[in-house]
Amino acid sequence: MKRVFFIFLLLIVFFVLLSPNNFYKSGESVFPLGTKAAEQGFRIKQKNPVVNENNRIVLTTVDKTGSNIQNGVSWQSGSPDIAQVNTNTGEVLGIKTGFVTITASRAGETSSVFVVVAKVKRANTAKIPGDTKTDSNGSVYISNPLQNVILKADNKLNAPLQVYTGTLKTAGNRNGRLEEALFAGPTAIGVNNSVNGGLYVADTLNHSIRKVGFNKQVETVIGKGSPGVSHFDNKAISFDNILLSSPRGVVSDAGGNLYIADTDNHAIYYADMSLQKLFLLAGEPGQSGKDDGIGRKAKFRRPAGIALSNDGRLLTVADEDNNRVRLIDISRDSSGVVVANVSTLSVANSTQSLVSSTSAETTTEAVFEQPQSVSIDGLGNIYVVDKTGVQLITRAQGQIPQVMQLAQQEVSFNQAVSITVKGTEAFVLDSDEVDAES
């Protein structure tokens, strides 16, 4: 039986960071809570705004002094099916429950925020998911997109959690040492356990992938800080020329290369770290859909969390707005280029049809409710977090996959938002608030 641990994000923020001297630690470096990081010169004033379905709110922009900026600002929504924004006024209309990245642009500067679309009297409203990952030493890393930080606990979950990098409640886009770096809405975390590796963070509101090296340095690997679409003409694109749009999935393979879910562009990429080039693995940037197939013939709709099997041959994708989990079988062609064969996870219709069969009558596509996070154990079983909780898809050899609710006696979740599996333990990040303020 796998042991399930859950972490309350609010408790982390309230009780971990404070000390008698008002200091908090990041790795071995200690610095005061009172130090204020540099504010963005152009930014959206509202922090973590919420709008009800079919209602409207107006977002505004300010300069570094806090004065309103009214002229020359254009607005865009990363997911207009969830919330639309007037391109000139910043008025946001909530369409359906979920969350969306809204970006303001002016004179070459951009600023992005998460906007949650809620539904009154519905208990299970949208949450902005963080992520949790472990490294080879057993340390646990947790992203908090609303507080703009990465947290760390050494070795065991009962070890004290500390801010690892970023500055609490301060959004920005700055590289440097752990204590100097700034993030904006960091979500997914990928771990490269090599000596020269570290964490790879999907810095969602900066529309980029950041590396938090084990050498305690933070750098931007891919992305320019503003949203955009990269167009692939059957060729790889240099990291320096890539535009991303609200990426929320990243994972490292055994060789230190990355797979990336470019969420609002509906595409999956393969990043070759030695070549410093990005390959389009599956989907078509800027086009959404639900088709299975090879490479760019396949389509996704806001792919979020991703996970890679131990042998590196299966990439699992939480295809959030398709309410499905997609499976990408990875191989290489004769020239060594990575090839993706995309299918949709199907499960047995009943326990009487568990034995493998080619008949479509014995299986059906597994339907989830906005899946956000996935993980794979050493046996190939898949763990999925959606708005209903945590589910296990068993994949025993010779049998059709079957969905089971992952639960134990006396264990419940307010709302699980991510999961990672290591050995015989499943680490579940549990969040019960839309806005985690300390």
Give Dmax over CA atoms of the chain in angstroms: 67
Contacts of 181 (CB under 8 A, 6+ apart): 165, 166, 174, 175, 210, 212, 218
The pLDDT, as a whole number, for residue 30 is: 32
The CATH code of the domain at 49-118 is 2.60.40.1080
The pLDDT, as a whole number, for residue 347 is: 84
Q: Where in the chain is the domain with CATH 2.120.10.30?
A: 3-7+129-430
Contacts of 285 (CB under 8 A, 6+ apart): 229, 230, 231, 232, 262, 265, 266, 267
3-7+129-430 has CATH 1.20.1440.230 classification: no
Per-residue pLDDT tens listing for the chain (438 residues)? 444 444 433 333 322 333 323 323 333 333 333 333 445 689 999 988 998 899 999 999 999 899 999 899 999 999 999 999 999 999 999 999 899 999 999 999 999 999 989 875 444 456 678 898 989 988 889 999 999 999 998 876 567 789 999 999 999 999 999 999 999 999 999 999 998 999 999 999 999 999 999 999 999 999 999 999 999 988 899 999 999 999 999 999 999 999 999 999 999 999 999 999 999 999 999 999 999 999 999 999 999 999 999 999 999 999 999 999 999 999 999 988 899 999 999 987 754 433 434 445 567 999 999 999 999 988 888 999 888 888 888 877 667 888 877 654 444 444 556 777 766 566 676 654 333 333
The pLDDT, as a whole number, for residue 35 is: 35
The pLDDT, as a whole number, for residue 366 is: 92
Distance CA(209)–CA(242), nearest Å, equals: 11
Query: Is the distance from CB of 101 to CB of 246 less than 8 angstroms?
Result: yes
The pLDDT, as a whole number, for residue 32 is: 32
The token duo for 321 is: 């707005």
Please spell the DSSP secondary structure of 4-24, one letter per residue: EEEEEHHHHHHHHS--TTSEE
Contacts of 183 (CB under 8 A, 6+ apart): 148, 149, 150, 165, 166, 171, 172, 173, 201, 203, 206, 210
Instruction: Report the predicted TM-score, pTM, of the whole model to 2 decimal places.
Output: 0.82
Q: Where in the chain is the domain with CATH 2.60.40.1080?
A: 49-118
Query: Is the distance from CB of 369 to CB of 323 less than 8 angstroms?
Result: yes
DSSP 8-state assignment for residue 183: B
Torsion angles phi and psi, residue 71, rounded to 5: -105, 145
Distance CA(150)–CA(171), nearest Å, equals: 12
